[in-house]
Amino acid sequence: MKKRLTLAAAAVIISCRALAQEPVSLYGYYEFQATGARIGGRFVQLSSNKLRLDLKADPARNVTVGANVNLITWHGKTTWNILDFLPPSLTETIPETVRPWYTLPFRDRIYLDNAWVRIALRYADITLGRQQLSFGSGYVWNPLDLFNTRDVLDPAYEQPGHNALRADLPLAARVTLTAVYGPADSWEHSTKQALLKIGVARMDITLSAAETRWNRHDYETVSEDPLQPGFAPAPAQRTLIGGALAGEMAGLGVHAEYARNCMNPGRDFTEFSGGIDYTFKSGVYLLTEYYRNSLGRTGSGDYTLNDWMRFLAAEQKTAARDQVYGLLQIPLTDLASLGLSTIYVVGDGSAALVPTLSWSLLQNVELTAYLNLYTGRSGSFYAPGMGSGGMVRFRIYF
């Protein structure tokens, strides 16, 4: 595997070099990340090496091509069984034969993360291919975003590319219509989303409608299809109507997002996120965000195996109904800042405390480190059994 990775990396670098005549730009970063967590009385660790290679070019007037390849190797505890994190009340009834199915492997990977072409026409920008798609005004939770689920411990980390056709049509000053089509195996299963963004005074207001196939699984049922062993698929057609706003009110930054989701089959649900932020004269930055998901549970004993699995597999944004996020960022020096984020689950009273250090070590070298400390009781959303620990990340841009 290592040999294959080395060869593939060399091939990518050589082919990029071959392309690297003006005006193709080549850049990227190398990232080392080490994670540790205390699980079941043991401290386990996982580290990774990631190489991201980006290229960008303007082969013709108003045409831009962009792409990036990611190469990742994993080391340490590369196989995690999700059942190790969950309360025994949920896991003790699971038969031994099925337990390996809850394994989450970290495999070495080389993949094309983004590859897109953007054509800037007079009245529209058309982007085709694997691309970043990120909608909504929320910092941690975005009810309007059908494509990504952010990591609450690290919400600003880059999101993966998605295969789509996107059109942005500026209709007037501060009025833009965005249409996205994410193709699947049929028109019905494909993601269709429209967003109308209107600027009114110091507010940006977005209205959105979307339809998608939500490819969830039933993690309590094993598939009966011998050709596709695994958990039983539980897909549902999802129709979303919602809106978002971002701007300023009474001197504070405000943002809010709402989505009403009609499911077929399944229970309809709503999502809301809203928050405020403020920068003090000292440079201290404060942000709070509240998130409600009516699919979530309200008490610590209410979470089911499906809730946990869908959350951990990023199929669902959360398993808890009401959460509050707080972020305090304090500049330590010109090159370093200290942050403290807290995620509090209203229903079960559990919280995650995440002190963070960001430090620009050199011109193109960054260090990020955080601890994730879980304070809840067993069975709560942020219980210590979920793996209190920390992460250190070095990133070197080139």
Partner 1 sequence: MTFTRSTTCMFILLSALGPRLLQAQAVTAEGIVERVNRVMSPASIYCRAKMTITTTSGETRTFVYDSWSKNHGEKNLIRYLEPVRSRDQATLMLNHADDIWMYFPRTGRVRKLATHARRQKMEGSDFSYEDMGSGDTFVDDFTPAIVREETMRDSLCWLIELTRKPDADISYSRCLMWVTKGSYVPLVIDYYPENDPQTAEKRLIQKRITLVSTYPTAMEMVMRNLGDNTETVMEILDISYDLDLPDSMFTERELKR
Contacts with partner 1 by CB under 8 A lie at 27, 29, 64, 120, 125, 131-134, 137, 156, 158-159, 168, 170, 173-174, 176, 197, 202, 204, 246-248, 251-255, 277-281, 283, 285, 331, 333-335, 360, 363-364, 366, 395, 397-398
Residue 265 tokens read as: 């089959």
E strands, 173-304, where?
175-182, 191-200, 203-214, 217-222, 231-233, 236-249, 252-264, 269-279, 285-293
Q: What number of CA atoms fall less than 13 Å from residue 96's CA on the CB side?
A: 0
Burial class (CB in 10 A: 0-12, 13-18, 19+), 232: middle
Q: Which residue lies nearer to partner 1 by CB, 116 or 381?
A: 116
Q: Closest separation between CB of residue 158 and partner 1, Å?
A: 5
CB of 92 or CB of 334, closer to partner 1: 334
ω into residue 155 within 30 of 0, thus cis? no
Closest CA to 395 of 369, 364, 356, 355: 364
Contact 53, 15 (CB under 8 A): no
62 HSE (CA, 13 A, CB side): 8
CB atoms within 10 A of CB 221: 12
Where does 109-247 have alpha helices with state H?
Answer: none
Nearer to partner 1, 262 or 286 (CB): 286
Q: Which is nearer to partner 1, 162 or 216 (CB)?
A: 162
CB of 74 to partner 1, least distance (A): 22
- Taking the complex as a whole, how short is the minimal distance between the CB of residue 198 and partner 1, in angstroms? 12
43 versus 278: smaller Cβ distance to partner 1: 278
Is residue 102 within 8 A of residue 82, CB to CB? The reply is yes
Distance of CA 181 to the CA centre of its chain: 20
Between 185 and 334, whose beta carbon lies closer to partner 1? 334
Q: CB of 205: closest distance to partner 1 in angstroms?
A: 11
Name the 3-class secondary structure at 198. Answer: strand
21 vs 363, which CB is nearer to partner 1? Answer: 363
- How far is the C-alpha of 156 from the C-alpha of 288, rounded, in Å? 15
Give 134 or 294: the residue with its C-beta nearer to partner 1. Answer: 134
Give the whole-angstrom CA distance, residue 276 versus residue 283: 16
CB 132 → partner 1: shortest distance, Å?
3
Rounded least distance, CB 386 to partner 1, Å:
26
Question: CB 44 → partner 1: shortest distance, Å?
Answer: 29
Query: Least separation, in Å, of the C-beta of 145 and partner 1?
Result: 10
Which CB atom, from 154 or from 302, has the smaller least distance to partner 1? 154
| Minimum distance, C-beta of residue 232 to partner 1, in the bound complex (Å) | 34
CA atoms within a 13 Å half-sphere pointing along the CA-CB vector of 52: 16
